Chains A and B, each alone.
Chain A
């Protein structure tokens, strides 16, 4: 059974990016994946509420910066999801 949280193209891409880089700020994720502010807010909320990602808000040069970091739980869930996709493909 595929995870409903991860089996969604935008969330899959955000998680793939975060698994690779561990953490990234709002603007970077948005730019790299060509997302809108609305998409970002909606999907990041889902990932945060499932404890796959933690959010940290800080000020850099007096400007607010929102950083998203993947949690160990999120990493495991993502790896399990990738394995589930592979199993599905290999299923005879």
Chain B
């Protein structure tokens, strides 16, 4: 019997050690994301429908831009630019914090390479959104954005937490569902989609913040 308890104690210790190792690696990867930045983006996304309603009542009422006789393309560019400036302005300091974290030598080398790809994906997405706004139906913007973000977060989720991975799958599924349902959806369905995106960013941000501040303490 005493032998049995020693064996159990060893197993328990081994399990604890493995958990500790997993915790250190996950927390170290999680540190590369600014949870605060995700929270700020999440809040902005939640308010996006309201901002767009505001733009509809101001920008899109300018005779030179207002459809059907105004310059809709210019209006679209200004509309996208307003969001670009708004998001950049609100997330500038957090972006800097993320860059500082990534420049430190505490990042998995594979992650370092992934972040380079991340920039290319984001800029491709922005260019695609603009192209769709000009040449296709604006309703296609929602699924494109969701699928792009889904793929991006799927990669990061594998290196950080299961929650990020879970949300990434939900983005992909929602993106595909949006394409399937297409014109059956209500005109304002994009608002629901954007609010979901915002809430998910908010939840992920809070979760990542907790993770990065909860590095295991050595004893």
User: Are A32 and B25 touching (Cβ within 8 A)?
Assistant: no
Chain B: CB-nearest residue to A36: B218
The reply on B109 being an interface residue by CB < 8 A is: yes
The docked-state distance in angstroms from the alpha carbon of A23 to that of B112 is 13
Also in contact, A20 and B25, with CB within 8 A (given A34-B217, A67-B105): yes
Q: Is B65 an interface residue (CB 8 A)?
A: no
Please give the number of chain A residues whose Cβ is less than 8 angstroms from any Cβ of chain B in the complex. Answer: 28
Q: Is B21 an interface residue (CB 8 A)?
A: yes
Interface residues of B in 12-35 (CB under 8 A from A): 14-15, 17-18, 20-21, 24-25, 27-29, 31
A72 CB, min distance to chain B CBs, angstroms = 15
- Min CB distance B92 to A, Å, is 24
Per the CB 8 Å criterion, the residue count for chain B at the interface is 26
Q: A25-B105, A28-B104, A88-B14 are in contact. Are A9 and B20 (CB under 8 A)?
A: yes
Tell me the number of A-to-B contacts counted with CB atoms below 8 Å: 78
Asked whether, in the complex, the Cβ of A35 is within 8 Å of the Cβ of B106, the reply is no
Q: How far is the CA of A24 from the CA of B108 in the complex (A)?
A: 11
Chain A residues with Cβ below 8 Å from B21 are 12-13, 16, 82
The interface residues of chain B, by DSSP majority, are classed as helix
Minimum CB–CB distance from A17 to chain B (whole Å) comes to: 5
Tell me the B96-137 residues at the A interface (CB within 8 Å).
104-109
Grouping DSSP codes into helix (H, G, I), strand (E, B) and loop, the A interface class, with mixed when no group exceeds half, is helix
Q: Which of B11, B25, B107, B218 has the most CB of A within 10 A?
A: B218
* Docked complex Cα distance between A85 and B13 (Å): 9
Smallest CB gap from A10: residue in B: B218
Inter-chain CA distance A72–B25, complex, in Å, is 18
Nearest-neighbor residue (CB-CB) of B218 within chain A:
A10
Cβ-closest chain A residue relative to B11: A89
Whether, in the assembled complex, A22 has its beta carbon less than 8 Å from a beta carbon of chain B, the answer is yes
Contacts of A20 in B (CB 8 A): 24-25, 28-29, 108
Q: What does the 1/0 interface line of A51-80 toward B look like (CB < 8 Å)?
A: 000000000000000010000000000000
Q: Which 4 A-B pairs have the closest CB atoms?
A: A16-B24, A85-B14, A88-B14, A16-B21
Can you show 17 pairs from A to B with CB atoms below 8 A apart? A9-B17, A9-B20, A9-B218, A9-B219, A10-B218, A10-B219, A12-B17, A12-B20, A17-B28, A20-B29, A28-B104, A32-B106, A34-B218, A39-B218, A85-B18, A86-B18, A91-B11
Residues of B within 8 A of A (CB): 7, 10-11, 14-15, 17-18, 20-21, 24-25, 27-29, 31, 104-109, 215-219
